[in-house]
Amino acid sequence: MTRLTYLIAFVTLVFLLVSQGASQAQYLGCFKDTSNRDISARHWSSASMTVGKCVADCRSRGFRYAGVQYYSHCFCANSYGRYGRASNCTTKCSGNKSQTCGGSWANGVYATGASGGGNTSKQAFCQRYSNTAISQQRQNLSRQCGFRGARWQVNYNNHYNWCLRAANNTANSETNARNTQLRNCGGGSGGKQAFCQRYSNTAISQQRQNLSRQCGFRGARWQVNYNNHYNWCLRASTGSANSETNARTTQLRQCRPAQSRLFRSRWDKIGGPGGPWTTGWVPNHTQQICGHQHAGCRCGAGYCGNYRSGATTYWWPNGCQGPRWTIRCTSVPQ
């Protein structure tokens, strides 16, 4: 027998075994599902899913029941039907359009013929893993540590199904990683929470100095929201948080206090009859403004007051019956 003949025989045998998985399985009906899965011991999906593949997989692992759902999903367990029957098992299997693979949130359930032992040791391990993961997440929430992501999700079934697919040492590494993060978070009056409270209070105090001294520093480092500082700190290392505090301190040292930050200002004529004209520089203003209180500013609608640098206004230098000038404020640091 040639190598090609052996290959054809092997492929034919595999096809027959998978086909037998579907033909030997007893169809039990269409049953409802939710995000809290009805058939929850094992879940996998494939772009070439068939009823036979799903049944064979569940049977090989010792599970009594297989559920196919929405084109490409397969579920295995030793029980089913807790949400009652459904009537929408109409989607075709992604790997065989002549077969039906359940529906949207509906399992087409088959009896695999297995004894129902399942992978009990793995199931028990993953039950313990998932219970621990949920307990750790509750600590994360109650202690307001702020940890997020797949590792910290609140759905038991998501943890359980992930564990079934993962190696035990990988799952143990996830448990240990959560424990390490929780130790770094601390709790009560000490640990990471207390550190981040101090950090956030300091950040708000530094921002108040920034505002009162008119330093003009901006960005996430200088925001005014306490909770934003606190939540950022919980996610960051203490070294990163201390670096932010030190950076704000350095910037504040480089900003002169408001009372020593003085400006000089002047008015320049930019329109009206006659030649150029200026008031000359007037020093020692605490703000970047020009005062317009000259005689003649009350003509027309009244234009007396303080103007920011670059602003223009009107002035009647020879009284309200004389010509009107347009003047512009210029104010610069001394």
User: Where in the chain are the domains?
Assistant: 3-111, 120-185, 191-254, 263-333
Q: At 203, list the tokens.
A: 């950040």
Question: pTM of the entire structure?
Answer: 0.38
pLDDT tens, N- to C-terminus, the chain (334 residues):
455 554 444 444 444 444 444 556 899 999 999 988 899 888 889 999 999 999 998 988 888 999 999 999 999 988 899 999 999 999 999 999 999 999 999 999 999 988 776 666 787 888 889 989 998 998 888 777 778 888 998 888 889 889 888 888 889 999 999 988 887 765 444 567 778 888 999 999 999 988 888 888 988 899 888 889 988 988 887 778 888 999 999 999 988 654 557 889 999 999 999 888 998 898 888 888 898 887 778 887 778 888 999 999 998 888 888 899 999 999 998 8
Phi, psi dihedral angles at 299 (to 5 degrees): -75, 165
Phi, psi dihedral angles at 272 (to 5 degrees): 120, 170
pLDDT value at position 5? 52
Q: Among residues 275, 321, 316, which one has the least CA distance to residue 292?
A: 316
Q: Report the run of H or E that residue 25 belongs to, with start and end.
A: none
Q: Do the beta carbons of residue 76 and residue 110 sit within 8 Å?
A: no
Tokens 């949920």 sit on residue: 134
For the sheet containing 73-77, what is the strand order? 26-32, 106-111, 65-69, 73-77, 42-45
Phi, psi dihedral angles at 165 (to 5 degrees): -85, -20
Count other C-beta atoms under 10 Å from residue 286's C-beta. 12
Q: Among residues 24, 129, 17, which one has the least CA distance to residue 66?
A: 24
Q: How many CA atoms lie within 13 A of 210 on its CB side?
A: 20
pLDDT value at position 120? 65
Q: Tell me, what amino acid is at 292? A: H
